[in-house]
Structure 1
Amino acid sequence: MAWFLLCVAALIGGYFIYGSFIEKVFGINTNRQTPAYTKQDGVDYVPMSNSKVYLVQLLNIAGVGPIFGPIMGALYGPAAMLWIVLGCIFAGAVHDYFSGMLSVRNGGASVPTLTGRYLGNGAKHFMNIFAIVLLLLVGVVFVSAPAGMITNLINDQTSLNVSMTTMVVIIFAYYILATIVPVDKIIGRFYPFFGALLIFMSVGLITAIGISDEHQLLGGFEISHMFTNMNPNDLPLWPALFITIACGAISGFHATQSPLMARCIENEKNGRFIFYGAMIGEGIIALIWCALALSFFGSIEALSEAVANGGPGNVVYSSSFGLLGVFGGIIAFLGVVILPITSGDTAFRSSRLILAEYFNMDQKPLRNRLLMAMPLFVLGAILTQVDFAIIWRYFGFANQTTAVMMLWTASAYLLRLDKLHWVATIPAMFMTTVCICFILNNDQLGFGLPMTVSTVIAMIATSVITVMIIKKSQGKGVIDIDADEIEPTSTPISSKS
């Protein structure tokens, strides 16, 4: 219990202390109009209140990642919680803040445009392809996962016999609608309520296990276990843990979602609460589910058996109904199901906007929105026929590689303005090493090289990339897309590399 509360306190403290520092490094301008006003179109650029944008951002970034990822990460033991805290404060929330605020500064631009602006056209073309692939994988994952969970819930709790194909069709139909209608009609109107439900559900479950006579929150683990790999299958913690737990610590998917709310934020001063703060909120959700997975089953071995018998969805189902009963379990389970649905539709929406930027196509006419969206849904429908485990495996690597590109983009931006770039460069270096090492070592996705060889090559490659970006970017200055003068607009925290 004490370890869990300490982790939560560290995340909250990180928001107020390190989040404020990151905001100062960036240098906000509260007098500058945001794209919600300069490009207001009633479709994608729509001013919305601070609390509403925060809850929508939280739902957009919190798919099944901060639940399924921490559950799978819990198989490594409480050490997973340490990565959630440190990764969230120093990498994930920094990544989300810069992906959102750089979009605000660049007219609501999507991540490929931002990457191209600060890293060059080659990086832009790479990210255009990579971001679309990632978002399609996300959309497919966030169709298959909720469809399976809803089907199981209905068939277990009622006499109906609903097929998963039926649920896939229903969810796809909703995605089409949510992707093309104005952002304030469905997403802005209903998602704040869903966001509140998500928070209520998470707090309710952790409270239930905290007062339970049958279960004890992290009762079977000691402080020494926080630094020990306890995986029952002897899987190495490095680098797999940092790929497995993505959305609860750092996730490139968030870089594709933050520009959606960058088009709705009313003032730059709201950025820390909306972008950095939503990631901290997701980190707390990830902590809750990691702790639930470790506590409800009582041991790593029992958790491993539950995952083997039905995946992380089985863990969600068992713990929800086991802790809250039938009625509370249904509410909690539906709260989890909402997460992937509310991220899946925004994944397709982001894809539409990235393609629209690439083809320079105005998205105000409905016809243009349909023209961009429908090919994406056709591809998504085809991909739903691929085995879910394969899709999830590729999603994990693509997700973290996208995060790497966004962190280097933030680093290049800060370097150009002679600001303290290390706040982005250090996590960029770490995640670059993780991704390269993973793809070199993994024998299913990559090259199957020995771990030592993979790690050494990854460290050398990361060092070369770091030197190249520093030399290419330092001190060049940046001209805003929506401004005539060179940044910064306030006094930055500077650094000499």
Structure 2
Amino acid sequence: MQKKLGAVFVTGPAKLLASLTPAWMNLPVWVGLILVYYILATLLPVDKIIGRVYPFFGALLLVMAIGVAGAMLVQGYHIPELTLTNMHPKNAPIWPLLFITIACGAISGFHATQSPIMARCARNEKYGRQIFYGMMIAEGIIALIWAAAGMSFYGSTQELAKMLAPGGAGPAGVVKEVATTMLGAWGGTLAVLGVIVLPITSGDTAFRGARLLIADFLQWDQKPLVKRLVIAVPLFAVGFYLTQIDFNFLWRYFAWANQTTAMIMLWAAAVYLAQQNKLHWVASLPAAFMTMVTFTYILMAPEGFKLAVQVAYLLGLGLAMIPVGLFAWKVISTKNPVPAPAKKTAGV
């Protein structure tokens, strides 16, 4: 999943940057430059690049989001009231598409896999709630600001959807037009850069997280550069190949992989909680729900097995009962807690 995520967050920011620069700085050029940055951020120690640029990236993201929100208020933009009009595509079942389409809004496997990086950087465990809950709220507020800006600028969700659809300006064009109109040329450019920060910082940590996960699994010391390269080079080769695939297809597949990763992380947490005789339902119930979602989706999806909807419903439910049954049999029946495994780190 990490490779798919990295590829998704190469194409998106590259399109935005290409829209701001001269013609010779086209999409392939920006894809190459972003991949070079990802390679350096993946291979070098976290305090050499990521730790130095992230504070500036974060400040730019927050300041520009506040600037867009302020422009809407000062310039008198009206946020249209949402109606109960059903905008879901015809012949597309709401279950389970709703929980896959909202890729990170439902539950984010990507954020779960990034937690080891944050844990390595935090000085004290008590900062965990501030870091993870705080950034969850901050990201949600930023998303709401840009959603409100798009709807108020174009007048309705329908008009915004037309601009985002094929044949319209697309996401990059919408962000650029809204930002430059509300904040002027310089402010708009900074606002666009603030938006670009989100996928850029997701992509570099996706590749870095993939390297660390593989290193932890193989128990490879990551201090020697050669061992980092052995893992990173294949990752970037696959990532570059994925950028050549149709973005819409890649995004849908990423969305499913994201939710699948979240489901796996939830089961892992549920097993740990049950073995420690703690309240496992906070993880096991969402895990069971997301298991049915992910299994059912991939059975019916165009990028999956393309089964009929009713067949996918029945087969997805049946397959989801397998991990649920294994959890109930192997874990809930276990009375004695299992000691937590020793911590293994592959280096930051």
* TM-score under structure 1 length normalisation: 0.64
Q: Contact 1:412 / 1:470 at 8 angstroms: preserved in 2?
A: no
SS at match of 1:439: helix
Shift of 1:456: 4.4
CA distance in 1 between counterparts of 2:170 and 2:312 reads 29
| 1:332 aligns to 2:191 (yes or no) | yes
Q: 1:216 to 1:356 in 2, by over 3 A?
A: same
| Structure 2 counterpart of 1:271 | 128
Matched, 1:299 2:156: yes
3-state secondary structure, aligned to 2:342: coil
Shift of 1:347: 1.3
SS in 1 for 2:95: coil
How far apart are residue 379 of structure 1 and its match? Answer: 2.2
Q: Partners in 2 of 1:286 and 1:467 — Cα distance?
A: 38
What residue number does 2:339 align with? 479
User: Equivalent residue of 1:247, what SS?
Assistant: helix
For residue 196 of structure 1, what is the aligned residue in structure 2? 59
Moved segments of 4+, more than 4 Å: 232-236
CA contact (8 A) 1:230 1:300 kept: no
Equivalent-residue separation in structure 1 for 2:264 and 2:320 (angstroms)? 12
Q: Write out aligned runs for 1:191-340 (5 A).
A: 191-213=54-76, 215-217=77-79, 219-222=80-83, 225=84, 229-231=86-88, 235-308=92-165, 309-340=168-199
Structure 2 counterpart of 1:140: 7
Partner of 2:223: 364
1:78-477 to 2 correspondences below 5 Å: 134-155=1-22, 160-213=23-76, 215-217=77-79, 219-222=80-83, 225=84, 229-231=86-88, 235-308=92-165, 309-450=168-309, 452-474=310-332, 475-477=335-337
8 A Cα contact 1:255 1:403, kept in partner: yes
Q: What is the CA deviation profile of residues 212-252 of structure 1, one whole-angstrom value per residue up to 9, with x for unaligned ones?
A: 32x312x3325xx3xx6333667543322221212234211
SS in 2 for 1:248: helix
The whole-number CA distance in structure 2 between the counterparts of 1:285 and 1:292 is: 11
* Cα deviation, residue 183, structure 1: 0.7
Distance 2:338 2:74 in 1: 54
Deviation at 1:294, TM superposition (A): 3.1
In the aligned structure 2, how far is the partner of 1:285 from the partner of 1:472?
A: 42
Mapped partners of 1:291, 1:427: distance in 2: 30
Deviation at 1:194, TM superposition (A): 0.9
Asked if structure 2 preserves the Cα contact closer than 8 Å seen for 1:232 and 1:304, the reply is: no
Counterpart for residue 346 of structure 2: none
Local SS of the residue matching 2:204: helix
Question: How many residues matched?
Answer: 339
Change (3 A) 1:315 1:257: same
Question: Is this contact kept in 1: 2:253–2:303, CA < 8 A?
Answer: no
String of CA shifts for 1:111-164, please: whole Å, max 9, x gaps.
xxxxxxxxxxxxxxxxxxxxxxx1111111111111111011114xxxx53222
CA contact (8 A) 1:135 1:348 kept: yes
Query: How far did 1:365 drift?
Result: 1.7
Q: Which moved more, 1:140-149 or 1:463-472?
A: 463-472
CA contact (8 A) 2:101 2:252 kept: no
User: What SS does structure 2 have at the residue aligned with 1:263?
Assistant: helix
SS in 2 for 1:231: coil
| TM-score, normalization by structure 2 | 0.89
Contact 1:412–1:473 (CA<8 Å) still a contact in 2? yes
Q: 1:414-466 CA deviation, whole Å, 9 max, x = no partner?
A: 1111211111122222222221222233244332312x553344344434432
Q: Give the 3 Å change call, closer, same or farther, for CA 233–205 of structure 1 in structure 2.
A: farther
% identical equivalent positions: 49
CA contact (8 A) 1:231 1:300 kept: no
Q: What residue is the counterpart of 1:33 in the other structure?
A: none
Structure 1 CA distance for aligned equivalents of residues 297 and 74 of structure 2: 40
Structure 2: distance between partners of 1:311 and 1:444 = 22
